[in-house]
Homo-oligomer: A and B are copies of this chain.
């Protein structure tokens, strides 16, 4: 029979897929068990409850998604344009490989905003680091704190929204042509950088 380590990984892989596809309330422990190829009771043996298992996935997801922003943005080795290009490119590419992540995060975080604090702390994204970014970034951009926020919100909006709005956008603007939409996302990488840079110069 399979080793423990493998079983745990199997469970996490299955849980990740199911939770991200269906969300916390939509996911079923039985479905996770089936997809992991194990008995439902084993889920509870490894992770005490649905909530506990979900929390593991949520933290893991946050850890994958969020740290890239500050780590990149305040790297003094690069010009800001280089940082931005790298971030936008890496971010959109990452989501392309995991297109359901944004909708998942948006939904669960709006459903339970109080979880943000603990989840952020778990991934080492504490008050200190947040403050650091809030201070270093305006300096790099030569902009006020307020203007800097506008740039950040703009960049993130432009990177993330197309994915969560995909079904609607595809219908309205792309005649449901998947290929056309993928091409659009690819071109967007450069476009987003331009839009953000133009905000900085003006």
Contacts and interface: CB of A to CB of B under 8 A. Distances in A.
A154 B160 CA distance: 11
A36 B106 CA distance: 28
Interface string A87-106: 00000000000001001011
A143 interface: no
Nearest to A164: B106
- Quick one: which of A116, A154, A191, A202 has the most chain B CB within 10 A? A154
Interface stretch (A21-29, A42-50, A53-61): A21-29
A134 interface: yes
A167 interface: yes
A1 interface: no
How often does this chain occur in the complex, in copies? 2
A161 B25 CA distance: 23
A198 B202 contact: yes
Given A25-B23, A110-B103, A161 B150 contact: no
Interface string A60-79: 00000000000000000000
A45 to B, nearest CB: 26
Contact of A157 (B110, B111, B165): B165
